[in-house]
Amino acid sequence: MCGIVGYVGQKTAKPYLLDGLKRLEYRGYDSAGLALFSEKDYVIKRNAGPVQGLADATLDSGQRETMGIAHTRWATHGAPNETNAHPHRAGDLVLVHNGIIENYSEIKDRLTKTGVRFSSQTDTEVFAQLIEFHRRKIQDQQPNLSAEDILISALETSMKEVDGHYAILLMARSVPGKIFGVQNGAPLVASPLKGGCLIASDIQAIIPYHNEVCFLPKGEILVAENGKFWTRAPGSSALHAPKLERMDWTADKVEKDGFDSFMLKEIFQQPLVVADTLSGRLPAKEHEPFIWDHQKAHEVLWKNVKKLYLIACGTSYHAALISKYFFEKWAKIDCEVDIASEFRYRSPVLAPGTVVGVISQSGETADTLAALRLANAAGASTFSICNVPSSTIARESGFQYPTKAGPEIGVASTKAFTAQLTVLCTLALDVGRLRGHLDLASFRALARLPHDLDRVLGQSETFIKIGEKLKDRRMVLFVGRGTMYPMALEGALKMKELTYLPSEGFAAGELKHGPIAYIDKDITVVTLAPKDDWYSKTLSNLEEIRARGGHIIAIGSETDEQIKRQCLSGGDEFIGLPESAWGTQPILSVVPLQLLAYGCAKALGRNIDKPRNLAKSVTVE
């Protein structure tokens, strides 16, 4: 969950490093640092706190160095302070790292016994000291080897000893002018700029400069020098020209376009994102096949499926939970949904005919990746719904049904969730069609979705104002039935991760089994109340809440005069949404939930794009 950046070329490295860190700050921002290499040695500057502090601290350095590595951190080992900030130095070398070294303490003990002294509590420093330990040993045993070969051999030896998934960049005094990199499960990308080479843990640091990138293959060593870079396969000294891929993301997509935060911009991008995610997928006529990149495989996969598992974390898990209702109702498939961090440690029965789908915006979430690997190893057919087609999860899944939300920078996921729901609704509809049942109402409503979302966003100021008034509430509860139950969970997650206020989501039917004890005049209950099969039960829930003095925000159909009248006459709030079909209703309902949380967080002065303690991609367990 950290960001790493490297630059080597003819230009001054520092501006590239600082700009890259700023673009990766959403991945982790409790400390930052950089190392610049002049002819003979490197200068390190580290700073607890956001990247801006580092930029200020290095303003007057006047360094003109043309090579450097940099890092922005989300602490996994050791407190977020300057001592634990990267880069970490170990004798001849300096290193930055994203990921986690599982067996670092055992290695640390072993190195300490040889006299190595550590200055931090991080696993990163252990990795750096291990490489330096082997470098010195190899140098003594094979002095005739070049400094570069000694360093690479030390790196390869160390990689065999460490467990974990990581990406690192390092520079060494003994090999001036070169940056080395390697990844073992965490992404590392490099791009050839004019007169330089930019390397990063995420393509968002590279997009403003170039849209051709090399995704460093796992285990291969990157060697970058003076604007060029090559890769070396493990154990081989041959240098290969990198395989470049063209990305269709452009710089303007990564800027804020005038919004006060990336998250607000991304909420307003949702109509376009749904249109992009749908485009080229919906058939021209009803009952015709939907269009997927792997049409044949799609049919084989779904015609014989006996059981479907959907696995994810956080918001992506909520999308999976909602789609369970679709797969059961439309495709009559036995569908089980689980949290990745639970699934991977259970002993799930993956019998023949099992399909496992994983959902992940980043495509790098460690628990979700581990669940996918468990399913692949068990021989299940797998697919992924990711927002980054080049991500590790996307590359390791059997099939991809990608979302097309573009870069999502705000840590709280919004447009990616809407895109996930769009893919899942479309997929479940098509699988239902394949198995003899097409829900025409939802099929027709899909095509209207971008327009309906635009209409909902037209009320954004109202939603934000209602959200602002929640800042003094003791707690905000969210309740819903059917597909609106996971939506209630999502509303609570948005509220808690953006405002830090206590918020919980429940199945509305569960209120009387305990949570109703929370309710009094200081509590707000956001009730998802569409005109669906459970409407009458939802009306009773509203009465139960009102009878105990709870404040209500009801989110229902714009034509629902009954609930609207009850709410407005009782001093409560009513949010009316366009009538939609059962399958598309959840996508419309999430927008007010996102904006309620946004309004409340703004009123509390929270950091909208980078909520405390969170990171965009949880690449550690």
Residues at the contact surface with ligand AGP, assessed by CB under 6 A: 313-316, 360-362, 365, 368, 411-413, 497, 617-618
Q: Which of 7, 4, 407 is nearest to 193 (CA)?
A: 7
Q: Which of 414, 164, 398, 367 is nearest to 272 (CA)?
A: 414
Helices (H), 1-76: 13-24, 51-57
Query: 313 vs 542, which CB is nearer to ligand AGP?
Result: 313
Q: Which of 436, 416, 473 is nearest to 270 (CA)?
A: 416
Does residue 307 have an active-site annotation? no
Distances in whole angstroms, Cα of residue 149 to Cα of each of 37, 57, 354? 20, 35, 47
Distance between first and last Cα of the chain: 10
Give the shortest CB-497-to-ligand AGP separation in angstroms.
Answer: 6
Pairing of strands 178-184, 164-172: antiparallel
Indicate which residue of 307, 404, 415, 616 is catalytic.
616
Give the shortest CB-332-to-ligand AGP separation in angstroms.
Answer: 28
Q: Which of 336, 335, 334 is nearest to 346 (CA)?
A: 336
Give the shortest CB-259-to-ligand AGP separation in angstroms.
Answer: 17
Distances in whole angstroms, Cα of residue 561 to Cα of each of 170, 463, 518? 65, 19, 28
Give the shortest CB-391-to-ligand AGP separation in angstroms.
Answer: 9
Query: 214 vs 618, which CB is nearer to ligand AGP?
Result: 618
Query: Measured at CB, which residue is nearest to ligand AGP?
Result: 314
Give the shortest CB-212-to-ligand AGP separation in angstroms.
Answer: 25
Please check whether residue 403 is in contact with residue 275, taking contact to mean a CB–CB distance below 8 angstroms: no
305-340 CB burial, b ≥16 within 10 A, e <16: bebbbbbbbbbbbbbbbbbbbbbebbbebebebbbb
Query: 269 vs 360, which CB is nearer to ligand AGP?
Result: 360
Which strands form 399-400's sheet, in the order they lie side by side? 334-339, 307-312, 354-360, 381-386, 399-400
Indicate which residue of 2, 335, 567, 600 is catalytic.
2
- Token pair of 582 as six digits: 């059962």
Query: 19 vs 497, which CB is nearer to ligand AGP?
Result: 497
Query: 342 vs 522, which CB is nearer to ligand AGP?
Result: 342
Query: 221 vs 620, which CB is nearer to ligand AGP?
Result: 620
CB-count exposure of residue 420 (10 Å: 0-12, 13-18, 19+): buried
- Per-residue HEC secondary structure of 484-501 comes to HHHHHHHHHHHHHHHHCC
CB-count exposure of residue 565 (10 Å: 0-12, 13-18, 19+): exposed
Give the shortest CB-539-to-ligand AGP separation in angstroms.
Answer: 31
Query: 3 vs 192, which CB is nearer to ligand AGP?
Result: 3
Query: 58 vs 499, which CB is nearer to ligand AGP?
Result: 499
Q: How many CA atoms lie within 13 A of 472 on its CB side?
A: 2
E strands, 467-584, are 475-480, 503-507, 523-529, 551-557, 573-577
| Residue 185 DSSP symbol | B
Give 67's strand partners: 8
Give the shortest CB-23-to-ligand AGP separation in angstroms.
Answer: 17
Give the shortest CB-615-to-ligand AGP separation in angstroms.
Answer: 8
Give the shortest CB-367-to-ligand AGP separation in angstroms.
Answer: 8
Distances in whole angstroms, Cα of residue 431 to Cα of each of 132, 167, 304, 358, 401? 55, 38, 11, 17, 13
| Residue 515 DSSP symbol | G
Distances in whole angstroms, Cα of residue 399 to Cα of each of 20, 85, 309, 540? 32, 39, 15, 44
Does residue 2 have an active-site annotation? yes
Query: 126 vs 312, which CB is nearer to ligand AGP?
Result: 312
Give catalytic residue positions.
Answer: 2, 616
